[in-house]
Amino acid sequence: MTDKLPTDPAENLATLIRCPSVTPAEGGALSALEAMLKPLGFGTDRPVFTDDGTPDVENLYARLSGNGPHLMFAGHTDVVPVGDEAAWTHPPFGAEIAGGFMFGRGAVDMKGGIACFVAAVARHVETHGAPKGSVSLLITGDEEGPSINGTVKLLDWAASRGETWDAAIVGEPTNPDQLGDMIKIGRRGALSGDIVVHGRQGHAAYPHLADNPVRGIVTLVDALLSPAFDEGTKNFQPTNLEVTTIDVGNTATNVIPAKARASFNIRFNDTWNAETVQAEIHNRLDKAASRSKLRPGRKEKIEFELTWRDRPSPVFLTHDDRLIEGLSASVEAVTGRRPALSTSGGTSDARFIKDYCPVVEFGLVGQTMHMVDERVALSDLETLTRIYQRFLEDWFA
């Protein structure tokens, strides 16, 4: 190979950060990643997926083929917006280094994880030659967006072409404080919904001529928040429902609004599935609506509408000992710390991958993800690369 191999994770990351790939823009990030992988012998495809009402998204699937087990590394090159750019102490797409840190949007979420995995594969190829098996990278530009034209369709696209995988690592930032803290082996399910209560608009001084929907929305919200859904299970935290907004769209203080809206998000454990938790929420709202005692002269049953947003994310737990123990041993060998096995946090694209192969998540420290001055320690880039490299050596041994 005459091309320089991408063995330096900091160089890889700087190249990726300088691509302004805010969802759904490719921003040059997939092209940069493709250029890193070609000298290693990867074949690449760049499928674009579309759907009604959502932006087109370009994705990348790269594979280095060999005889043996097939390991997938999954992630995303899209990033969230920078926010107030003037608040950054270093340009968000500059990849500047100061005080031992590289600054830039996506440094930890999750261009850093991709940069380290590419460096690990490059070092493996440089030291041992091609792996005794196959390595693929499944990279989307839609993880921070609606997640419709990204990983879920890329998996189906690859599987329709005969691709199968033995295991997968998602390089999301899983460590809360320091590298080696945590591997994610599952996630709670997630579901979002909206409640609308209809009333009758009127003058605040003449409530008998109106019907205030705020009383109804407060009653229904209270029914969702109490009692607790469960106390947690062996592998998962308790289910929690959070009301994220209550709004009447009213700019006047002397007008009773015509309707009130509340939005909520629930994270549920393996006590539930999407269907049973939806049924529980319906049941709570129906009971609260029928038992409500509103002001005299008003209808006693609260009239409401409940709608579900997007698709629910299922709860899942990975049980693959070879994958979990192999990665845990690699983390411990490099850092001296035995990682906790956790199902905490929000959702990730692992919720789609688990339908195709066992999957875990392990990446950088996530303390600055989505923040102004997102940054990663250069030492962490080297450490994560060594962890991935050690895992590759053991996996393909």
Q: Where in the sequence numbering do the catalytic residues fall?
A: 78, 143
Is residue 58 annotated as involved in ligand binding? no
CB 108 within 8 A of CB 173: yes
Is residue 310 annotated as involved in ligand binding? no
- The one-letter amino acid code at 81 reads P
Cβ-based neighbour number of residue 179 at 10 Å: 24
First to last CA, the chain: 23
Residue linked to tokens 């070092």: 123
Is residue 194 annotated as involved in ligand binding? no
Is residue 198 annotated as involved in ligand binding? no
310's CB contacts (< 8 A; 6+ apart) are 146, 192
Is residue 124 annotated as involved in ligand binding? no
Half-sphere exposure of 362 (CA within 13 A, CB side): 33
* Three-state SS at 54: strand
Closest by CA to 220, choosing from 274, 301, 279, is 301
Instruction: Name the burial class of residue 370, with classes exposed (0-12), middle (13-18) and buried (19+) by CB atoms within 10 angstroms of its CB.
Output: middle
Q: Identify any residues that bridge with 136 across adjacent strands, giving them in sequence order.
A: 63, 72
Residue set of the binding site for Zn(2+): 76, 109, 144, 172, 370
Residue set of the binding site: 76, 109, 144, 172, 370
